[in-house]
Amino acid sequence: MALTPPLPQDLLLVGASGDLAQRKLIPGLYNLELDGLLPPEGSIIGYARHGLTDDEFRNFAADAVKRHSRRPFEETAWSSFARRLTFISEEDGGLGAVAERCRQPRRLAYLAIPPSAFMTYIRLLADHGLVDGTRIVIEKPFGNDLATANQLDSELHQYFHEDQIFRIDHYLGKETVQNILVFRFGNSLFERVWNRDAVDHVQITVAESIGVEGRGQFYEEVGALRDIMQNHVFQILSLLTMEPPSSFRAEAIRDEKAKLLESIPPVDPRAVVRGQYTTGALGDQIARGYRDEPDVSHASNTETFVAMRLNIQNWRWEGVPFYLRTGKRMPETVTEVTVVFREAPIRFFSELPEVSRLRPNQLSIRIQPEESITFSFLAKEPGPEVRVQPVRMHFSYLEAFGAPPPEAYERLLHDAMEGDQTLFLRADGVEEAWRIIEPVLSQMPPLRFYAAGSWGPPQIDDLIEPRRWRLQ
């Protein structure tokens, strides 16, 4: 069904001069303007601690669009977008002034701020009468651990109903992540082998070549475990492994995801490797170590990389190891899921010299970039002898659909304005995810080091032994 513009409403962007607003939210909103998918009436009110004039905010937004928008800056769309923009700071009127500036009966309040500031802003919104008619978007990580996630939830529920609360994990807005469900439940072939009988193990990698990019202060608070593993990686994992939902309605899908997470036992800290990047090289560029990044302590114990092995204790997956990892300053930016199937029971070809090249079947789902799905299997090389080698069946989004998929934030901002919670997290799912890593949070494994531009600390090879990481 084609998307339609949401009802008139104002949009309050708390943390409007921050990194997320600049890279994702403002460019996302601008792309919705290009598609005619912003509300027909309503302002976009930027809010931050320190003041900008409306014109300075518009310049900041124009720069954000020019640098980060999926589609190019266009004068006509820009002028109608810029007319919506206005700025208020804490120094200059605070949320009282915001309440006066909100002209619409509905509004979306987006908290693009560090997790330690959520509680304060929830109370401030309530103190200024910005609750009725407000939907609130809370960025991840939702809390700092299970106890603080529960606290945050009770604080939110003091003022807001569950249908006003949008806990965002932008990976759920990615087309390729949503496609995991279509791939599994729209095709009968793979679902039949999607279980312990056929699958040897699964790997999920979320690698980024960037470092912390001026977000040192935020990152020191969270680290890779809370920034990506507890949310983005676990969300991919749950869509990949959950049981078929009774329908594609929000609650049915969220029920299955929560059930799946419930069947994962707490992770043993000995099955976790934490790493931090030191000075190294990416291509011909020298990259400084994490401890030399701005706003980072010289003795920081924060991990920029984490890998873990876990099990899902249910009928379908018992005994299948899942290897998950995420890190910054990796050799490339890639998010990929690989399902490795069991080897053929009898190796007819084991006498042949090519045996070293024989590989079990693998299905790789490339979430980004170059979004694709690839199945690899063995084929006979042409010729009189029986020589085999791995070949690939490949589906590329760009080739099949002629364009790369839209940015996740566009879809999610639109859905939040519409009040559609399908692609947002429910409290039970978030809490289950914290429960799984609770032992690791309370007994952090020692920090290992890896050079920027490498695939992580060497200890990750022991974690996956006797198997091997696919990307290395």
- Annotated active-site positions, please? 232
CB of 299 to ligand BG6, least distance (A): 22
Residue 153 interacts with ligand BG6 (CB under 6 A): yes or no: no
Closest listed residue to residue 427, CA positions, set 438, 415, 435, 418: 435
CB of 307 to ligand BG6, least distance (A): 17
Residue 415 interacts with ligand BG6 (CB under 6 A): yes or no: no
Closest listed residue to residue 15, CA positions, set 83, 90, 69, 81: 90
> Between 223 and 321, whose beta carbon lies closer to ligand BG6?
223
Q: Give the whole-angstrom CA distance, residue 165 versus residue 12.
A: 15
Q: Give the whole-angstrom CA distance, residue 189 versus residue 13.
A: 45
Residue 227 interacts with ligand BG6 (CB under 6 A): yes or no: yes
Residue 220 interacts with ligand BG6 (CB under 6 A): yes or no: no
Question: Nearest 5°: phi and psi at 352?
Answer: -80, 150
For residue 421, count other CB atoms closer than 10 A to its CB: 20
Q: Are 342 and 309 in contact (CB under 8 A)?
A: no
CB of 269 to ligand BG6, least distance (A): 23
Tokens of 147: 């106890």
Q: How many residues bind ligand BG6 (CB under 6 A)?
A: 3
CB of 328 to ligand BG6, least distance (A): 7
CB of 227 to ligand BG6, least distance (A): 5
> Between 227 and 418, whose beta carbon lies closer to ligand BG6?
227
> Between 169 and 256, whose beta carbon lies closer to ligand BG6?
169
Q: Is the peptide bond before 457 cis (omega within 30 degrees of 0)?
A: no
Q: Which residue is nearest to ligand BG6 (CB)?
A: 227
| Mask for 65-104, x = binds ligand BG6 (CB under 6 A) | ----------------------------------------
Cα 271 versus chain centre, distance: 23
| Mask for 199-218, x = binds ligand BG6 (CB under 6 A) | ---------x----------
Q: Give the whole-angstrom CA distance, residue 10 versus residue 277.
A: 42
Q: Are 43 and 103 in contact (CB under 8 A)?
A: yes
Helix (H) or strand (E) holding 23: none
> Between 57 and 455, whose beta carbon lies closer to ligand BG6?
455
Q: Give the whole-angstrom CA distance, residue 435 versus residue 423.
A: 21
> Between 228 and 425, whose beta carbon lies closer to ligand BG6?
228
The footprint of ligand BG6 (CB under 6 A) covers 208, 227-228
